[in-house]
Amino acid sequence: MKKNFLTAAAVMVTAFFVATTVAQAADVNFGGELLTRYEVLERNDFNDTTEADSYFQSRVRLNANVKVNDSTSAFIMLQSNRTWGETFESTAANNSQTDPSGNLNAGSFAANDLDNSVGVHEAYFTLNNFATLPVDLKVGRQEVILDGHRLFGDTLWTMGENSHDAIRLNHKHDNILVSYAYIQGSEESRATDTNDNDDTNVHLAYLNYAGILGGKLSVTYAYLDDGCGRSVSNVCNNQEDDIHTIGFRQAGQLYGIDYRGEYYYQWGDARATAEANIGAGNTGANVDRDAYMFGVRIGKTFNNVAMKPGLTLWYDYLSGTSDEDARNNEFKSFNTLFDTGHKFYGLQDVFLGVGTNSTTGGTDGFGLQDVAVKAKISPMPGWTVKADYHLFFTAEGVAGSNTQSGLAGNNSNDLGSEIDLTVVNAYNANTKIMVGFSNFNSSQTMRNIRTNVGGDDANWFYTQIHVNF
């Protein structure tokens, strides 16, 4: 007994000193953030008979950035997201507070010692000059953000934000960046899906070249490989539902004018998507994907004028599917992949589902046009006031359509308008305060397309404090 105890003690002491030595040898930097947001939310119902929902949310993040040696580093970010006071009573025991995903949470009326809401947002290691090649290998859970978040972003606004289980290779030389990423989008049960039919994989190739027309040129190719496909009932039907996306983005500044132009084209198999999103008329037939989008923006900030005013004009077009397209077994609705829609299609996030063309978050396959005017001023140091105005339209004609949503009748392309007002204060180097108000005024066509839109306009107010350390 004494011998076993002494052996165990020796092992523990050795492990302690080894761990201490490793910690001393590595260059470790710790950081994190605290974000608290209050919202008065009405943007999801458009219903004048219901009251707005008000609530607090908070996010806590802790991260460690470790430089193990000259060729190896690692990054880990843990986060916890919660709504203040939110509790869920389980059916097993009313005193057990649990949410539908199994995470335990508690308000003021229950102990929180069982709270397991902490999760991993990012956890990856990087090997520089992998295998003596001029490439860096990055493996693990990581954010994948390209350019302005158009196709690949982290969502920015949502509490959890978005990250991927991925392997990424980066080569940087002078003003050129070449990158390849493999993303495991979804992995179904290995016991029931031995042929990987129900998995989704993403392959991404990216090139960025700086120094063209006062800015940068990016070329992107992404292949989303879905071997399952989903029927109307959201059941895997083993149909290929692939999306190939290729395009470019050029952004920079010329003659004091900020500009951006981009274009992306999509092709592939779309039978399952067409059946689930624009009706069952294509059931049993092969459906070809043939979609595109483009966006342009020009703006000017007058830094030498009082309050530094700025004005931006932009236009986005996402193609849609018409009745004739559906009859010809063609799906022409552009899918925005893993974009940060909050950055583009209005801050109220009314069109976050435009990539899936659903009837609750998209335009039911008709595509989207966004005409926007954005203005800003800086009334005093550390303060910025912004005002954005959007006009939204479908890309395809809605009048008389009966393939999607049964919209036979005289419907216009008008979807409505949105105004976003935002005040930002850089309170100090580590703290930012934001206050915002938005109003979305829907059209009759919008109300006909959406199953969750009533006759009232929708308002939204928020204020948040974001502390980084």
Over range 365-373, report the average pLDDT: 95
CATH for 196: 2.40.160.100
- In tens, the pLDDT along 103-139 reads 556 667 666 666 677 899 999 999 999 999 999 999 9
**Total domain count for the chain?**
1
Residue-level pLDDT at 166: 97
For residue 23, is pLDDT > 70? no
Residues 6+ apart with CB under 8 A from 195: none
Does the pLDDT at position 181 exceed 80?
yes
Q: DSSP label at 334?
A: P
Does the pLDDT at position 281 exceed 60? no
The region of weakest confidence among 223-232, 327-336, 343-352, 376-385 is: 223-232
pLDDT band at 352 (very low <50, low <70, confident <90, very high): confident
Higher pLDDT, 200 or 377: 377
pLDDT digits (tens, 9 = 90+) for 10-20: 445 444 444 55
The predicted model gives 164-183 an average pLDDT of: 97
Rounded Cα distance, 392 and 372, in Å: 9
pTM for this one? 0.87
For 217-269, the DSSP string reads EEEEEEEEEESS-B-TT--B------EEEEEEEEEEEETTEEEEEEEEEEEEE
pLDDT of residue 94: 44
> Is 39 part of a structural domain of the chain?
yes
Does 11 fall in a domain? no
Mean pLDDT of the chain: 84
Retrieve residue 163's tokens: 């990250």
Cα dihedral across residues 463, 424, 355, 226: positive or negative: negative
pLDDT band at 280 (very low <50, low <70, confident <90, very high): very low
Residue 21 domain flag: no
> Does any domain span residue 266?
yes
Report phi then psi at 445, rounded to 5.
Answer: -65, -45
Give 406-461 pLDDT, tens digit per residue.
565 567 899 999 999 999 999 999 999 999 999 999 888 888 887 666 677 889 99
User: Cα separation of 156 and 248, whole Å?
Assistant: 22
What pLDDT score does 187 carry?
81
Residue 12 lies in a domain: no
Look at residue 7 and tell me if it is in a domain: no
Cβ–Cβ < 8 Å for 287, 270? yes
C-alpha Rg value of the chain to the nearest Å:
25
- Domain span at 410: 31-468
Reported as a single tens digit per residue, the pLDDT across 85-100 is: 876 554 444 444 445 5
Is residue 24 in some structural domain?
no
Residue 207 falls inside a structural domain: yes
pLDDT at 447: 82
pLDDT tens, residue by residue, 201-243? 999 999 999 999 999 999 999 999 986 665 445 556 666 689 9
Write down the pLDDT at residue 397: 84
